[in-house]
Structures are given as C-alpha cells and as structure tokens.
Structure 1
Amino acid sequence: MGNTDKFEMIANSYDTSERIQIAKVSSDAIGEYLVDAKSKNAIDFGSGTGLVGMDLLNNFNYILFLDASQNMINQVQKKISDSNIRSAATLCFDFEKDSLSDLHADYIFMAQVLLHIKDVELVLLRLYEVLNEGGHLLIVDFNKNEQIASDVVHNGFEQIELADIMAKIGYRNIQSKTFYTGSKIFMGHDASMFILDSQK
C-alpha cells in the first residue's frame, strides 16, 4: 500500500494524542452506521496501530486488523495480547499488490486510508470482492483540499466523484456526509472529514 515504508518507521511512535483524538471521532462516526453488527465480522482495513478498530471491538463479533506495514501490525498484535482480546486477529497484506480470494467480511471500514492508495479504483474493487452479499464498506477520509499539494497522498476526495467510482464497481445505497472539521488535521492544514457508507 502507498507510503508503507514511512509507516514502518513511525509505527512505534504513531499513537500521538492528536491521532488518538481523530481516531475516536472516526470510530464514533462509523459506529453510527452499524446495523445489527454484534453478530458480524469486520475488517479494519489499513488499520495502522488499530486505534479505530480497537474502539469498535465491542460493536462486532470479530475484527481482523489488516495493514500493509508489518510494524503497524506488530503494534496491534501487542495491544491484542496485552488486553487478552479473543475477538480479533491481524494480517499483514497489501491489497494494491494482490487480492485475497478466501477473505470475507460483513463490514469493512477504513479511516484516513484511501488518501494513501495510488490506485483507488483497484483497491475498492478488491474490497468489493471481499464483502459478503449485503455487506458494508465504510470510508472515513478528508474532503478535497486544494491547499494541499503532495506527491505521496491524495489531497482528499470529492464525495460525489468517489460515489460515482464506487457505483461503477457495483456498490449501492451509497450515502455520505461531512461530519467533522478540525484545525491543522491534514498535513498542517485545517480540513474537514466525511464518512461514506456503501453496500454490496
């Protein structure tokens, strides 16, 4: 996945108070979209150190923390074993390089992950294949921000354009809204975040 090398280096010091706060805002937003999820299995896609997924553990039957950075996964693994969590597992895998035909989930959620992915459409297609029929993909990310110029991340997304890409793949019941605005939360700039819910 994009920027994996960078994440490998910062894994040990990733959980800053700012990131923990943004993760809490994101997990709260995701939680509002869950329906009868207690019996469902989920994937925290691009989980990082698991900040969002750990907040949502009690909402699901089981969560798989998936990230392309082994060091990030090691951090999640430590949290799982330190807290003796039985309803979670980890997997280091890069969906930009390959697909997993034997992986399935009722919910996939990703928070501030899509902006690191070069081929957005390819990854969204591969995640569509992982979703069970009727399953949900929930995306939390930044709205497009023209002040940000970067060759390593997207400068956010237009909600309508993203929904169009997803509809072409086959996602349905797509709905999105801006739910949070914060100071200097996106590469030193003020920015707003959206949540998008979609279904297979």
Structure 2
Amino acid sequence: MSENIFETLAKRYDTPKQQALATTIRAKIQTKLPETAQKTLLDYGAGTGLISLPLAKKFKKVYLVDTAAEMLKISKIKIKQQNLTNVTLQQQDFASTTPTIQADVILLSLVLLHIPDTKKILTSLYQTLHTNGQLIIVDFDKNTAVHHPKIHSGFDHNALEKLLADIGFKEINIQTFYTGDKIFMNQKAALFIATSVK
C-alpha cells in the first residue's frame, strides 16, 4: 500500500462521502457475516476503522491492522470515545512480514486495489485465517476508465475467483452490489463483495 499517501490523508479521511460509502459497505458485509459472538475479526487495511469499529461489539475480539500509523491514531481516538475494550491496533504490512495474528473473519474493504501483489497478500491472509474462517473482500469491479500507476483498476470477478481457488479458498461467491458516481478515482464505479472460506 502507498503508506505515505495514507499517512497524509488520515486526518481528513472520514469525510461525509467516505462515511456514506462505509455505511453502504458495512450494511452489505453484515448480510454475509456468520454468527460472530465468539469469533475474532481482523480488518486488514482498517484505516480509521470506518467499516469495522461499528461492528466491533458483534465480535469477541477485533484487530485493526494497517500500514499507516496516522490512520491507526484516528482509530485509537474512536476506540477510546466508544469505550471499546475488545479492539487491538497493530501496524503491520502482511505483504512483507509474516502475520502473527489468527482470525475467524478477515475483512479487506477497498484495500486490495492498493496492494501490487494480489496473490501474495491473499496467500498471507489465507494463512492468517483459522480453518473454516471467512475472507470478505469489498472492492471495485474492473473499470477501464481508471488508470493509475499505483493502484489496480478494479478486479475481474472470474480472475479473482480463480486466484482465490488456486490459493485454497472454497465456497467462493462474488457479486456486484452497488454502483455510485465518482466513487473510484472520480469515476462512476461498481462495488463487489467476495466471500470465501478456508
């Protein structure tokens, strides 16, 4: 991930537009969650916790992991404000270091497009999941209008499904669930949710 960009963006990341998109994404994620009361959630690329902190009370334990320290500082303030005692913050890049956490549910929301080596990070997350654990990815459908040297221009469903299967994931389901104006590099774009099980 482009750490420098997110270190800089942290203090102005939670815009009304970002919050509205997070609400839409979170609502869809909740329809895919298993019974979570005794489970551990790992939000990789958690940013300021926009997606996962409102879900924290549904889980036994929540890990917010991000490469950007400034993002995690904002999350820390929110955790204190909301009096959440089951949330742990960790600054780490799973693409370059071995994860030390194990989780039942891993969430990756609008993060995969920022990671150059898709296979490497998904393999790392596979290893981080408990057996029968669930990976939930939310990201953009492939978008020919988006061109940027540091991000993917979205993902093709069939290619992502094949990659997840090659790594070892099963019960893979990918569906587009939302289309919005100017949500991806100022372009109209569609979001998908991909669920799979280790």
- Per the alignment, residue 93 of structure 2 pairs with 94
- Measure how far apart 1:38 and its partner are: 1.4
| Aligned residue identity for 1:191 | A
1:42, 1:105 within 8 Å by CA — same for their partners in 2? Answer: yes
Counterpart selection for 1:162 from 160, 167, 172: 160
- Per the alignment, residue 67 of structure 1 pairs with 66
- Per the alignment, residue 192 of structure 1 pairs with 190
- Per the alignment, residue 47 of structure 2 pairs with 48
1:143, 1:158 within 8 Å by CA — same for their partners in 2? Answer: yes
- C-alpha separation in 1, matches of 2:98 and 2:29: 25
Q: Percent identity?
A: 34
- C-alpha separation in 2, matches of 1:58 and 1:32: 16
- C-alpha separation in 1, matches of 2:82 and 2:33: 24
- C-alpha separation in 2, matches of 1:20 and 1:61: 25
- C-alpha separation in 1, matches of 2:59 and 2:161: 26
1:137, 1:197 within 8 Å by CA — same for their partners in 2? Answer: yes
- C-alpha separation in 2, matches of 1:28 and 1:174: 20
- Per the alignment, residue 133 of structure 1 pairs with 131
1:31, 1:59 within 8 Å by CA — same for their partners in 2? Answer: no
- Per the alignment, residue 145 of structure 1 pairs with 143
> Under a length normalisation based on structure 2, what TM-score does the superposition of the two structures give?
0.98
Counterpart mapping for 1:108-127 below 5 A = 108-127=106-125
- Per the alignment, residue 173 of structure 2 pairs with 175
- C-alpha separation in 2, matches of 1:99 and 1:159: 27
- C-alpha separation in 2, matches of 1:158 and 1:84: 40
1:114-170 Cα distance to aligned partner (Å, 9 max, x none): 000000100000000000000000000000000111101100001111010010000
Query: 2:83 aligned with 1:84, yes or no?
Result: yes
- Per the alignment, residue 17 of structure 2 pairs with 18
> Under a length normalisation based on structure 1, what TM-score does the superposition of the two structures give?
0.97
- Measure how far apart 1:58 and its partner are: 2.6
Could you list the runs of 5+ residues in structure 1 that have no partner in the other structure? Answer: none
CA RMSD for the aligned pairs? 0.8
How many residues matched?
198
Could you list the runs of 5+ residues in structure 2 that have no partner in the other structure? Answer: none
- Measure how far apart 1:82 and its partner are: 1.9
